[in-house]
């Protein structure tokens, strides 16, 4: 403490390895004491949750496959699931791991929930490999998950995503909001709630949520930059959108197509054409195939996106 200024140093240390995982200084005045404590708690909780999950996944990657329990298999599946928007192989591998987990333990709620999520991502890559009832298969998996644990925030998040695909926008909002109620300090859940708001045509509100998630998650995963970039795109702030998409370490389907559209709106004809070619090569999706994965409540928004992408000469 120095006069009216106060500094609190927070540090997260791994007990088994005795190394510092994260540290941060919170600077504020005496008058801000009660305001900063909520931010401090949220940041620490989000950091612990995110890092513990990452450490468990990394450790399991090194474990021999024949020793896996259902929980281990779920975490292995999650490792691939987190990258399922990057390659079709990741999406397929994730589904396989979650299926194995369900075989080992049919009452593993998370396995059912994440199987639905990864299957949805896989169908986004290979829409012809599953019948028209694929979304019903996903819904059945999440319903089973909620039967086992009705307070699983991940199951509610995933049911929200499924409801969005089905075009039930109010139910999608209900489940995403329920997920946030159950886990209010989870930056990932916040990001998914923001992504839904983008598709509901509320980019300003979505941006507020994304930026709050970024403040409490010092690791700031790529997903949040994607969400932030999409918010800026629909707010007409194309330079800011481009800056967000270029911060992404591993580009995914949404980031590369929306980067293309943002560059086009900035009049960057050559760059937008080059990026669109990269998008086709990376995703193996046409513009029309990509648009099938974009579930906007207002169909005019999808048409705007279509016109931008189809106007790019390649």
pLDDT tens sequence for the chain (314 residues): 566 777 777 766 666 655 555 666 667 777 776 666 666 666 666 555 555 555 544 444 444 444 468 889 998 999 999 888 788 899 999 999 999 999 999 999 989 999 999 999 899 888 888 878 899 999 999 999 999 999 999 999 999 999 999 999 999 999 999 999 998 888 889 999 999 999 999 999 999 999 999 988 877 889 999 999 999 999 999 999 999 999 999 999 999 999 999 999 999 999 999 999 999 999 999 999 999 999 999 999 999 999 999 999 98
Reported CATH class of domain 222-314: mainly alpha
Question: What digits encode the pLDDT tens for the residues 102-129?
Answer: 999 999 998 999 999 999 989 988 888 8
Query: In which residue ranges of the chain is CATH 1.25.40.10 found?
Result: 63-184
CATH code for the part of the protein at 63-184: 1.25.40.10
pTM of the predicted structure, to 2 decimals: 0.76
pLDDT, tens digit (0-9, with 9 covering 90-100), for 39-48: 666 666 655 5
pLDDT one-digit tens code per residue, 115-173: 999 999 899 888 888 878 899 999 999 999 999 999 999 999 999 999 999 999 999 99
pLDDT at 29: 78
The secondary structure of the chain as a DSSP string is: -BTTEEEEEEEEE-TTT--EEEEEEEEEEGGGHHHHHHHHHHHHHHHHHHHHHHHHHHHHHTS-GGG--HHHHHHHHHHHHTTTTT-HHHHHHHHHHHHHHHHH-TT-HHHHHHHHHHHHHHHHH-TTSS-TTHHHHHHHHHHHHHHH-TT-HHHHHHHHHHHHHHT-HHHHHHHHHHHHHH-TT-HHHHHHHHHHHHHTT-HHHHHHHHHHHHHH-TT--HHHHHHHHHHHHHTT-HHHHHHHHHT-SS--HHHHHHHHHHHHHTT-HHHHHHHHHHHHHHH---HHHHHTT---SSHHHHHHHHHHHHTS--
């Amino acid at each position: 403490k120095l006069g009216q200024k106060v500094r609190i140093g927070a540090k997260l240390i791994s007990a088994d390895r005795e190394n510092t995982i994260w540290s941060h200084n919170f600077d504020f005045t005496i008058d801000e004491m009660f305001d900063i404590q909520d931010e401090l708690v949220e940041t620490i909780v989000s950091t612990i949750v995110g890092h513990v999950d990452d450490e468990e996944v990394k450790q399991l990657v090194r474990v021999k496959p024949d020793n896996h329990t259902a929980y281990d298999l779920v975490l292995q599946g999650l490792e691939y699931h987190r990258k399922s928007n990057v390659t079709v192989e990741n999406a397929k591998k994730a589904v396989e791991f979650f299926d194995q987990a369900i075989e080992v333990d049919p009452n593993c709620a998370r396995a059912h929930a994440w199987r639905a999520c990864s299957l949805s991502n896989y169908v986004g890559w290979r829409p012809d490999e599953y019948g028209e009832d694929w979304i019903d298969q996903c819904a059945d998996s999440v319903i089973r998950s909620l039967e086992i644990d009705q307070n699983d925030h991940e199951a509610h998040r995933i049911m929200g995503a499924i409801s969005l695909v089905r075009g039930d926008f109010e139910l999608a909002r209900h489940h995403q909001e329920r997920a946030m109620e159950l886990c209010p300090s989870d930056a990932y859940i916040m990001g998914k709630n923001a992504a839904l708001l983008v598709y509901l045509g509320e980019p300003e509100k979505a941006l507020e949520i994304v930026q709050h998630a970024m403040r409490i998650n010092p690791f700031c995963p790529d997903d949040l930059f994607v969400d932030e970039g999409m918010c800026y795109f629909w707010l007409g702030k194309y330079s800011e959108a481009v800056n967000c998409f270029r911060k992404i370490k591993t580009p995914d389907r949404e980031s590369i197509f929306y980067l293309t559209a943002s560059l086009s709106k900035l009049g960057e004809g050559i760059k937008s054409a080059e990026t669109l070619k990269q998008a086709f090569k990376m995703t193996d999706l046409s513009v029309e195939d990509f648009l099938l994965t974009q579930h906007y409540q207002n169909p005019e928004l999808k048409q705007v996106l279509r016109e931008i992408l189809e106007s790019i000469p390649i």
